[in-house]
Amino acid sequence: MKNVSNSPQNHGTFRRILHYVGRYPISLAGSLLFAVVTVAASLFVPVFFGDAIDCITQSGIAWKELRQIFLKTGIAVGIAALAQWLTSLCNNRISCNVVRDIRKDAFAKLGSLPLQYVDTHPYGDTVSRIVADADQFSDGLLMGFTQFFTGLMTILGTIVFMLVTNVKIGLIVVFVTPASLFVAKFVATHTHKFFQQQTQTRGEQTAFVEEAISGLKTTKAFAHEQENEAKFDEINARLEKASFQATFYSSLTNPSTRFVNNLVYALVALIGALDVASGAFTVGGLTKFLSYANQYTKPFNEISGVVTELKSAFTCAARIFELLDEPEEVSDAEAERLGVAKGNVELKDVAFSYDKQKPLIEGLTLDVERGKRIAIVGRTGSGKTTLINLLMRFYDVDGGGVFVEGRDVRDVTRRSLRENYGMVLQETWLKKGTVRENLKLGRPSATDEEMYAAAKAAHAHGFIKRLANGYDTVLSGGELSEGQKQLLCIARIMLTQPPMLILDEATSSIDTRTELKISDAFNKLMDGRTSFVVAHRLSTIVHADCILVMQAGRVIEQGTHQELLKKQGAYAELYNGQFA
């Protein structure tokens, strides 16, 4: 195993793999035990064949003795076959369970990663780590357990048998054969970088394919198909080159070691034949020794191939462990629950930026009383969505603080904070499941009557009833329009009835007539609840208690609709620009 762990990174990866393997001590012990039985039974077969040959050449054909020898040979072969099958069974169990555990840990890790990781890493690359890299690692791990330990035990066993049979020839084999190990190590060491390039490029390709599929409509709308094909071809060509180099150089290992081992075999045959001619060795003894020489050298060929596979597996495992090692969100295990908030929210001298070299929000102070409707407007990039991210604690502030009911949101659990907010985003999200499951996502205990009332308030009940199975229709992606999806998201929030609301362009995909009806439902929902509304259609926020006009992360104006129009400032410019 030293051949595949010759760097500090690989040493760490190897230790972590052993940690996962160590969770299954019974299967591991069974694998080792049955591997020993397989090797031991296989090593006795040449002894029986050698005895049979000596029985024929020295004392003629003694059928009684030959029948006993053949019976012993059959028993040994049967035991070896059964033990080998049990070894494979244990190895498959270990491999599948380890990959299952790693995938489980990797998926669980996604839930504890900060949104900054999701925002800064391509989705496809993350998917590739959990799916493709885990599969590649599984194949390498299975081959390692299946061939590496069996091969190692075969080498040790044949050394003992050869030294017992003929010390001189045994020592020659032992001293000459390790040359194949040096060849294997040299090739494997130099192929690691190619396997690393291969896995990284495969992740890049997966990310690009995911991006191309999710944006296919936009691609077609802008006739960008040829550019996408050219980009894919470029990535695919790099993947082909890296894969070819990894495969080509790794394929040199087996023929190189096989050449050295064949020389050893020829040397044993020559020296053994001379000993037979001089009477120091029997023909059966030479047959046994040639069989052992073949058994001894064969694992070196197998292990050299395993080393190559393990190089690839270690590279894939390292990528998965990189994901597992990503810093998690700041733990709130010691924080207290917020309880049901009344709706008093305050921002004190808040500073925040995604890139610490480029300040975004500086010195933002805001005091929102219970039940107020706060509208947030501004040009693209002014910080509207960033403010929402801070309210929901998707990101933590760099300076100052966000307070709910006088308590810093960093002192309460994220779950209890977010349970007090109902959020409808411009981008709709519905999971694969029934309409009922999607509507009750935030409040599973809701009754069907409450669900129907929320759907009617969001003007979604009508089209839901027209679906194939009504509320039990399984949504898989193509049944609903974007507007209908948004209505379901609105109904989902209306069902939860949270004490505070965040509406980020919640009606952007809905026609004007339906929007007027939903606005009435929203007005009823927002009555008595603190609400933050991000809007580009300024006509939807004219009745807000306070309108915040943001620019470059700062609130440059605030007041009611009429007050801001009288100022003839930035808000008036935005409003008049829409209704000129």
The residue out of 324, 355, 380 marking a domain boundary is 324
Residue 1 has pLDDT above 50, yes or no: no
Average pLDDT over residues 148-154: 79
The amino acid sitting at 279 is G
* Weakest-pLDDT range from 280-289, 378-387, 404-413: 280-289
Q: CB-hemisphere CA count at 13 Å for 547?
A: 27
Does residue 381 sit within a domain?
Answer: yes
Does residue 200 sit within a domain?
Answer: no
What three-state secondary structure class fits 113? coil
Does residue 304 sit within a domain?
Answer: yes
Mean pLDDT (the chain, rounded): 81
171 and 301 assigned to the same domain: yes
Does residue 28 sit within a domain?
Answer: yes
C-alpha dist (Å) from residue 374 to 285, 398, 490, 539, 560: 95, 23, 19, 14, 10
Our count of domains for the chain comes to: 2
Q: 311, 192 in Cβ contact below 8 A? A: yes
Does residue 397 sit within a domain?
Answer: yes
Give tens-digit pLDDT for 347-370. 898 888 888 778 788 888 888 888
Residue 7 has pLDDT above 60, yes or no: no
399 and 518 assigned to the same domain: yes
47 and 104 assigned to the same domain: yes
Please give the pLDDT value at position 86.
92
Does residue 352 sit within a domain?
Answer: yes
State the Cα–Cα distance between residues 323 and 128, nearest whole angstrom.
Answer: 11
315 and 354 assigned to the same domain: no
Q: Band of the pLDDT at 403, cuts 50, 70, 90?
A: very high
Q: CB-hemisphere CA count at 13 Å for 379?
A: 8
Q: Band of the pLDDT at 371, cuts 50, 70, 90?
A: confident
* Weakest-pLDDT range from 21-25, 48-52, 232-236: 48-52
Q: 493, 424 in Cβ contact below 8 A? A: yes
Range of the domain at 98: 10-193+252-324
417 and 500 assigned to the same domain: yes
Does residue 231 sit within a domain?
Answer: no
CA 528 to centroid of chain Cα atoms: 44
Average pLDDT over residues 385-402: 88
Please give the pLDDT value at position 3.
42
Residue 234 has pLDDT above 80, yes or no: yes
376 and 306 assigned to the same domain: no
Burial degree of 61 (CB within 10 A; 0-12, 13-18, 19+)? exposed
Handedness of CA 320, 323, 325, 328 (dihedral sign): negative
264 and 298 assigned to the same domain: yes
pLDDT, greater one: 322 or 299:
322
274 and 408 assigned to the same domain: no
What is the token pair recorded at 520? 């009435």
114 and 160 assigned to the same domain: yes
146 and 40 assigned to the same domain: yes
CATH value at residue 264? 1.20.1560.10
CATH value at residue 351? 3.40.50.300
359 and 269 assigned to the same domain: no
Please give the pLDDT value at position 580.
56
Does residue 525 sit within a domain?
Answer: yes
Please give the pLDDT value at position 436.
93
179 and 100 assigned to the same domain: yes
Q: Band of the pLDDT at 5, cuts 50, 70, 90?
A: very low
